[in-house]
Amino acid sequence: MTKTPIFKRVLFKVSGEGLSGEKQSTGLSGEALFRIAKEIKSVYEMGVDVCLVVGGGNFFRGALQSQFEGEPLSREQADYIGMTATLLNGMALKSVFEKVGLKSHLFSALELKGLCPLFSKEKALKALDEKQVVIFTGGIGKPFFTTDTASATRAMEMKCDAVFKTTQVDGIYTKDPLKYKDAVFLETLSYETALKNHLKIMDEEAILLLKKSSIPLCVFNQHQKGLFPKVICGEGKFTLMNEKGEKRV
């Protein structure tokens, strides 16, 4: 029996680390790319419109620029390098989408002539209406903002019903479960609770944007194969964050 999705248009934040696979922390993994593509295809075939914001941490992370020896890059320079790295991942995803039979449109918030069309809200909405998967790269095109903020921003612009974010664990906990055995899994929580307790789910700016627009956030394990289609239907283990911390459907 085919399950019914509880969301009709979603944005999926794809981390750079998620594209490098479980056995490596940098570069691209063909296995990870195809796994993500197949799961997105499963969601697409349910009739769900899918957008993606792509990170670039598997190639370069601007926030870590201070680790360079000698004179470090400025934060602005580092962020632009990081934003350019997201395009590498976006191009790889688009290529794999084509191989699994998914039509997609790639946009960049940075102007990169000959490589990728510049982001246009109108063109992106048209691509979604034409039942293409839309891939967003380049963050929001400005330094000092993360892909968390880009995800919330694009979700608002694309009129998404929810944002989906994957992590190394099963969802949101009271503290890092990889470090603390007494960490408690949270099936649901409110934006206010997340902000008050400084839970490191997304940047606070991103959470505030989601709160303002009443867009729920679903957080689940990026390494659990086949979980994304289940979460779209409200099944499987994940955390739902919304305005009032309401129970999952």
- Which residue ranges make up each domain of the chain? 9-242
pLDDT at 22: 67
How many whole angstroms separate alpha carbon 149 and alpha carbon 53?
A: 10
For every one of its 249 residues, what pLDDT tens digit does the chain have, with 9 covering 90 and above?
357 899 999 999 988 777 876 666 678 878 889 999 999 999 999 999 999 999 887 777 655 555 555 567 788 888 888 888 899 999 999 999 999 999 999 999 998 887 889 999 999 999 999 999 999 999 999 988 889 999 999 999 999 999 999 887 889 998 888 889 899 999 999 999 999 988 888 899 999 999 999 999 999 988 788 889 999 998 989 999 998 877 655
Give the Cα separation of 177 and 180 in Å (integer): 5
With H, G, I as helix, E, B as strand and everything else as coil, classify residue 37: helix
CA neighbor of 92 nearest in space, from 31, 140, 160, 13: 31
CATH 3.40.1160.10 applies to domain 9-242 = yes
Instruction: Specify the pTM.
Output: 0.90
Question: Residue 1: its pLDDT value, please?
Answer: 37
Distance CA 115, CA 88 (A): 10
Q: pLDDT value at position 11?
A: 97
d(CA 132, CA 36): 16
Q: What residues does 172 pair with on adjacent strands? A: 186
